[in-house]
Amino acid sequence: MLDSPKPNPPKADAPKTLADDRRIEALLLHRELEEFNNSYAAALDELRLMDWAEMFTDDAFYVVISRENADRGRPVGLIYCENKGMIHDRAFAHENTEMFAPRYLRHIIGNLQVLGEDQNGDIRARANYVVVQVLFDRPEAKLHQVGVYYDKFRRRGEQLKLAERRCVYDNLLVDNALCLPV
């Protein structure tokens, strides 16, 4: 048996190249951001707004802005938060002080693309989003928002946080009111 020819080694045992490492890293990062967005959608769908607020860095910028404004370089947003304090105030107000009709929401996030890494290590990404709304007194589900998240993610220890999320929505008209964040 000693003379029998050595079989070709299986591919998995091949020495890993730098390119392989990068590909795996990219896949892991993509998966990690997807998982983040899934948790983000779940927090909003389940109205856990304080959990939602905790997904941002202290200096985070969060804005919901129409494509009409964004395309024209006009800064006005439906929601305009310059830091986590304002995001927290939003969450608190929507949970405790704002008067609006009860509803179910479903956030669907897809088409994630990782766009690159900034000098400071922030990860730039974008994803399409859809918000579907069901009002208790108008039982059909209606498309409430459709748009794109333009994101900057930052590592905080084991966790990822959003340092920036610009929600740019395509629909020209908001259906009555945007009563919860997107």
Partner 1 sequence: MTSQKANFTRDYVWPDDDLTVIPDWVYTDQVVYEREVERIFHGPTWNFVALEAEIPNAGDFIRSNVGPTPVVVARAQDGTIGVFENRCRHRAAEFCRELSGSANEFICPYHQWTYDLKGNLIGVPFRRGLGGKGGMPADFKLQDHGLPQLKVTAHRGVVFASYCDTMESFADYLGPEVLREFEATFDGRKLTVLGHYRHSLPGNWKLYHENLKDPYHATLLHTFLVTFGLLVAGNRSLMLADKSGRHGVMASAKSDAKSVTGDAKKEMRSFKEGFTLHEPRLMDFVEEFDSPWSVTMATIWPNLIVQREMNTLGIRQIVPTGPHEFIMKWTMFGFEGDDEAMTRHRLRQGNLMGPAGFLGLEDNEAIKFVQDGMQRVPDGKHLVKLDPQTPVGTADTLISEAAIRAMYRHWRQQMGL
Binding of residue 178 to partner 1 (CB under 8 A): yes
Binding of residue 81 to partner 1 (CB under 8 A): yes
DSSP-derived secondary structure for 4-36: SPPPPPPGGGSPPPHHHHHHHHHHHHHHHHHHH
Of 13-21, 28-36, 92-100, 108-116, which part binds partner 1 (CB under 8 A)?
Answer: 92-100
Which amino acid appears at position 88 of this protein? H
* Least separation in angstroms between CB 133 and partner 1: 13
| 83 or 128: CB nearest partner 1 | 83
Of 10-18, 76-84, 123-131, 147-155, which part binds partner 1 (CB under 8 A)?
Answer: 76-84
8 Å CB contact between 125 and 113: yes
Of 36-44, 109-117, 156-164, 174-182, which part binds partner 1 (CB under 8 A)?
Answer: 174-182
Strand pairing partners for 166?
Answer: 63, 150
Round to whole Å and give the CA distance between 45 and 163: 21
Choose which of 75, 110, 143, 156 interacts with partner 1 (CB under 8 A). 75
DSSP assignment, residue 121? S
Round to whole Å and give the CA distance between 127 and 139: 28
Binding of residue 170 to partner 1 (CB under 8 A): no
3-state secondary structure of 135: strand
Radius of gyration (C-alpha) of the chain in whole angstroms: 21
| 93 or 115: CB nearest partner 1 | 93
Binding of residue 177 to partner 1 (CB under 8 A): yes
CB atoms within 10 A of CB 154: 19
Round to whole Å and give the CA distance between 49 and 67: 25
| 30 or 103: CB nearest partner 1 | 103
Residues in touch with partner 1 (CB under 8 A): 64-66, 68-69, 72, 74-86, 88-90, 93, 96-101, 137, 172-179
